[in-house]
Chains A and B, each alone.
Chain A
């Protein structure tokens, strides 16, 4: 379990370059699911770098959390963006000027912190066996001791965000259920006349006529039918 310096260096460059390249591909791909999983690959590379730094628990937890987060993000994006499977090609970059400005500012800011900030100088011990259990225990004491306030604040903020997201995506909303409440597009004149003639409205259970198969899946479609009526012009 003692990789030599050369192996460590090679692994560092492999995972570091992999994280950067897959991070770049997030913006070059044309599907929300692919973008989410390129981001996951980037995070997995970052987690591997943490493992190389002997931050075993942090690295593994990063990968564990991101596996779920990225899938949830992909599903939520698909739900909100009216793109039934995320398979339809669509551009992943919008508002170019604002995005470029924000990207440059964020890069310069983080780069300045990295180059100019003062970091504690605690090199890893030269011994081959690192007590990673002790490192994990130190992390736990830090999180529930000194840093408890920011840690718990972040936790409560995340909880509020989760509740908000669930409220936005839930079937029961203020304006009725998500799959029945949104207004269907106005049918053409002759279609409406034919329907009135038949008198066959089945009690508010509209099919929306967006033209994709999923709108017939109300039976077990709780995963992908909530986006109707939200964010209609959200992409493009």
Chain B
């Protein structure tokens, strides 16, 4: 089955992955627009909706780039590229189908964790290097936020790796053949989604680029640089949703449809949950989130690991 539906060549796999990520970015943007119109009680015209992301991209491309006084120009230019690279690495660890992931390494969750840890470096660098007040505060906010959600993120992935007896996402998907992790480890997916909101800094955890900071880390960015930053963020969002689908929703497994189609559907479902939070959940104060993360989320994640271990023994 996989031979027909899933190419074996690494280049074709990489091309399929790129299509998956770009399609995911587009789908996430459409979902946000649709939900925004719905929440606002406004009507939806299909043509305007579908063309919306492209129009906005064209508008950003035609805008002038803003400058600040004595920024760290190399780091400022590097940050979006680095973020896009990290998104590609994170997406590469996801097994879209049963054969393999593009970067189907044995230590898949470590590779994904390393990419997510480097997102902190990216966002901080992006805010810091502009040499401007609001982006700098946004950068510091993201460091506090990232240090708080990294531990729950790592712990729920470790809990998912325990029954698989492997650090690779392929084995984690195979270990869910009987029962998906979302049922077997009920704490896992909610904690993962909180961390996913944190790492993609949106919805309730959109603290580093919040409106109360005049845009925070992206306050001084415009034009093509802003488009690159937003595309990179979208790619991270798709990668995080795809990893969640593989880790907790059984990845490619499902009846009737071929494997990759299930991966796409489950990823879209998680994308919808994450994107909906932008319109449906209020932004939290960062201080409260840090306290809750260290005092509640990390103990819950430890409990998740402990219960999984007890279940396995």
Q: 5 closest pairs, A vs B, by CB?
A: A64-B114, A67-B117, A223-B140, A60-B110, A133-B106
- Name the distance in Å between B137's Cβ and chain A's nearest Cβ: 7
CA A60 to CA B112, docked complex, whole Å: 9
Q: Are B121 and A71 interface neighbours, CB within 8 A? A: yes
Complex formed: what's the CA distance from A174 to B221 in Å? 42
Contact of B128 among A33, A136, A213 (CB under 8 A): A33
With A63-B117, A223-B140 known, 14 other A-B pairs at CB within 8 A are: A33-B125, A34-B72, A60-B113, A60-B114, A64-B110, A64-B114, A68-B117, A68-B146, A72-B147, A75-B140, A75-B143, A132-B107, A213-B133, A223-B144
Which residue of the partner chain B has the closest CB to A62? Answer: B114
Which residues of A lie under 8 Å from residue B117 when comparing CB positions?
63-65, 67-68
Knowing A37-B125, A75-B140, A133-B166, the reply to whether A67 touches B114 (Cβ < 8 A) is: yes
Check if B121 sits within 8 Å of A67, measured CB to CB: yes
**Contact assessment for B131 and A136 in the assembled complex, using a CB-CB cutoff below 8 Å:** no
- Sample of 7 A–B contacts (CB below 8 Å): A34-B72, A34-B75, A57-B110, A64-B110, A87-B72, A220-B285, A223-B143
Residue of A nearest to B113 (CB): A64
B34 touches A (CB below 8 Å): no
Give A121 Cβ to nearest chain B Cβ, in Å.
Answer: 25
Q: How far is the CA of A85 from the CA of B113 in the complex (A)?
A: 27
Question: Number of residues in B with C-beta < 8 Å to the partner?
Answer: 33
Contacts A37-B121, A67-B118 hold; do A56 and B143 have CB atoms under 8 A apart?
Answer: no
Q: Is the CB of A133 within 8 A of B167?
A: yes
Chain B residues with CB under 8 Å of A132's CB are 105-107
Q: Which residues of A contact B (CB under 8 A)?
A: 31, 33-34, 37, 40, 56-57, 60-61, 63-65, 67-68, 70-72, 75, 85-87, 132-133, 136, 213, 217, 220, 222-224
B124 within 8 A of A: yes
Judge whether B111 is part of the interface by a CB distance below 8 angstroms.
yes
Closest chain B residue to A132 by CB distance? B106
State whether B287 touches A222 (Cβ < 8 A): yes
CA distance A34 to B137 in the complex (A): 17
Q: Which residues on the A side are within 8 Å of B166 (C-beta)?
A: 133
User: Are B140 and A70 in contact, with the CB atoms below 8 A?
Assistant: no
Residues from chain A with Cβ under 8 Å of B111 in the complex: 60
Across the two chains, which residue of chain B brings its CB closest to A68?
A: B117
- Contact: A57 with B167, CB < 8 Å? yes
B168 at the interface (CB under 8 A from A): yes
Answer yes or no: B286 CB below 8 A from chain A CBs. yes
Interface residues of B (CB under 8 A from A): 72, 75, 105-107, 110-111, 113-114, 117-118, 120-121, 124-125, 128, 131, 133, 136-137, 140-141, 143-144, 146-147, 150, 166-168, 285-287
Smallest Cβ distance from A32 to chain B, in angstroms?
A: 11
Whole-angstrom distance between the Cβ of B161 and the nearest chain A Cβ? 11
CA distance A33 to B140 in the complex (A): 12
Bound form: Cα–Cα A165–B212 in Å: 30
* Contact across chains for B114 and A133 when beta carbons are under 8 A apart: no
- Give CA–CA (A85, B133) in the complex, Å: 9
Q: B131 contacts which of A72, A75, A87, A213 (Cβ < 8 Å)?
A: A87
**Complex CA–CA separation, A47 to B308 (angstroms):** 31
Q: A132-B106, A133-B106, A223-B141 are in contact. Are A71 and B124 (CB under 8 A)?
A: yes
Q: Is the CB of B110 within 8 A of A68?
A: no
Task: Tell me, rounded to whole Å, the shortest Cβ–Cβ distance linking B22 to chain A.
Answer: 25
Question: A222–B286 Cα gap in the complex (Å)?
Answer: 10
Q: Give the chain B neighbours of A65 by CB distance below 8 A.
A: 117
Residue in chain A with minimal CB distance to B207:
A220
Task: Decide: B147 and A68 in contact? CB cutoff 8 A.
Answer: yes
A residues near B118, Cβ cutoff 8 Å: 63, 67
On whether the beta carbons of A87 and B114 are closer than 8 Å, the reply is no
With the chains together, A86 CA to B131 CA distance in Å? 10
Contacts of B143 in A (CB 8 A): 71-72, 75, 223
Q: List A contacts of B125 (CB < 8 A).
A: 33, 37
The answer to whether A56 touches B106 (Cβ under 8 A) is yes
Q: Report how far A72 CA is from B131 CA in the complex, Å.
A: 19
How far does the alpha carbon of A33 sit from the alpha carbon of B118 in the complex, in Å?
15
The distance in angstroms between the C-alpha atoms of A214 and B18, with both chains bound, is 42
Nearest chain-B residue to A85 (Cβ)?
B136
Q: Are B147 and A60 in contact (CB under 8 A)?
A: no
Complex Cα distance, B110 from A136, in Å, reads 11
Residues of B within 8 A of A136 (CB): 106-107, 167
Q: How far is the CB of A75 from chain B (nearest CB, A)?
A: 6
Residues of B within 8 A of A31 (CB): 72
CA distance A61 to B117 in the complex (A): 11
Please give me the residue from chain B that is nearest to A33 by CB atom. B128
- A-side contacts of B141, CB under 8 Å: 220, 223
Is the beta-carbon distance between B120 and A68 smaller than 8 angstroms?
A: yes
Contact (A222, B106) CB under 8 Å given A33-B128, A133-B166, A133-B168? no
A61 neighbours in B (Cβ, 8 Å): 110, 114
